[in-house]
Structure 1
């Protein structure tokens, strides 16, 4: 199950909740128990390998002092 971030419209508390998508109407604020919560837009999770070469071992053995981070 994914973790979503919510903001309470009643008290302003921002909190995270582990839940199934489509069940946002069942969320209550953990501070004031209000059901007036808004799902916030969160940045997607990207694995640390995104943007790295497919063979990162060849990067480590690179003769260049900056490794593979030079972008070209």
Structure 2
């Protein structure tokens, strides 16, 4: 679901808003009801497993994916 971050230009409060595709909605600040808001650029959410090899273990004792010490593939 697309959740966007905004900052109110009037009270400078940051807030998030769920915007559904294809539905034009006027975004207003939930604090002061001002409709002058700025959409922030935010990083996309990626699960922690994205970009990590399947045999890479996330536990500190694995030392970068080593299977020594009981580390199992996939973490």
Task: State if a TM-score over 0.5 links the two structures.
Answer: yes
Q: Which runs of 5+ in 2 are unaligned?
A: 67-75
> Per the alignment, do residues 4 and 49 of structure 1 end up closer, same or farther by CA in structure 2, a change over 3 Å counting?
same
In 2: Cα distance, 1:20 partner to 1:40 partner:
17
Q: How does 1:58-69 map to 2 (within 5 A)?
A: 59=56, 65-68=62-65
In 2: Cα distance, 1:21 partner to 1:13 partner:
25
Bigger RCO of structures 1 and 2 (CA < 8 A, at least 6 apart): 1
How many corresponding residue pairs?
62
* TM-score with structure 2 setting the length: 0.67
Q: Which runs of 5+ in 1 are unaligned?
A: none
* TM-score with structure 1 setting the length: 0.69
